[in-house]
Amino acid sequence: MKSTLVLSLLLAATPAWSATLTLTPPDISGAPGSTIGFGFSMTGDLAFYTSVVSVTVLNEDNPGLGSFVDWISPQGGPDNAVLPPFATWTQSYDPSQNTGFGQYLMNAGVPPGSTDHGTFLVQYDQFFADPNTCSFCWVGDSTLTVDFSVTAAAQAPEPGSVGYCWIGAGGLGLSALVQRWRRRGAS
C-alpha cells in the first residue's frame, strides 16, 4: 500500500514529457536528388525509462520536396531500445551505419532554393523500471515536437567546367583585341 502511494505521488509530481530532443543540425540542405539526414541528441526523462516508438511528420509547407525516413524509432533507445533516466543519447547522421534521427530523400526534379519546413512529432513510451527486466512497468506514453527545415541547394559546377569558362572568357577577350587591331590597321 505504501509503495503504491509513493509511486502515485512520484508519477503525479513528475512532468509528463520531460524528455528533450535536439536535431543536429535542425536545418539541412543538399542537391536535388540527394539523400541527406539529421543527427540528434536526446536526454531522457527525469524519472522514467524512455523508448521512442514513432516519428510523424506534421505541418510540412512543401511535402513535394522529398520524403523523410525515420531511423530513431526502430532503435528505440541506446541500450536494448531504452534510454535510462537522466541519460543522454547522441547520434550523428551516418547513412552507412543507419544512425541518426533519420534521412530525407530529396526529389531529383525540385528547383534549387526550394525549402520544406515542418515539425516532427516524436512519440515515446515511459517505464518506471527497465522494461527489459520488468513486467508491467509501463507508465504511459508521451510526445514531443521538434522543428526542421530542408533546402534544395544549387548544385556546384564541376571543377573542370569552371576552368572551361575562364578559357572561353579569355578567348572572347582575345577575339575582341584582334578585331580592334584589325580596325586600327584598316584605318
Report d(CA 148, CA 40) in Å as an integer. Answer: 12
Count of structural domains, the chain: 2
* Burial of 64 from C-beta contacts in 10 A (0-12 / 13-18 / 19+): exposed
The answer on 132 and 112 residing in a single domain is yes
Domain that holds residue 180: 158-187
- Please write the tens of the pLDDT for every residue from 70-110: 999 999 999 999 999 999 999 999 999 999 999 999 999 99
- Please write the tens of the pLDDT for every residue from 136-184: 999 999 999 999 999 999 866 656 555 555 555 555 555 655 566 566 6
Percent of the chain with pLDDT over 70: 73
C-alpha cell at 56: 510523424
Residue 14: what pLDDT? 45
C-alpha cell at 3: 509503495
- Confirm if 51 and 127 have CB atoms less than 8 A apart: yes
The answer on 169 and 111 residing in a single domain is no
The answer on 146 and 91 residing in a single domain is yes
Report d(CA 114, CA 64) in Å as an integer. Answer: 10
The answer on 164 and 128 residing in a single domain is no
The answer on 185 and 100 residing in a single domain is no
The answer on 53 and 122 residing in a single domain is yes
The answer on 173 and 82 residing in a single domain is no
The answer on 172 and 117 residing in a single domain is no
**Which pTM value belongs to this model?**
0.74
The answer on 60 and 29 residing in a single domain is yes
34-52 burial, b at 16+ Cβ within 10 Å, e below that, comes to eebbbbbebbbbebbbbbb
**What mean pLDDT, rounded, does the chain reach?**
84
| pLDDT at residue 16 is higher than 50 | no
Determine the distance from the C-alpha atom of residue 137 to the mean position of all C-alpha atoms in its chain, rounded to a whole number.
Answer: 31
The answer on 172 and 88 residing in a single domain is no
Q: Any idea what the CATH number is for the domain that residue 19 is in?
A: 2.60.40.10
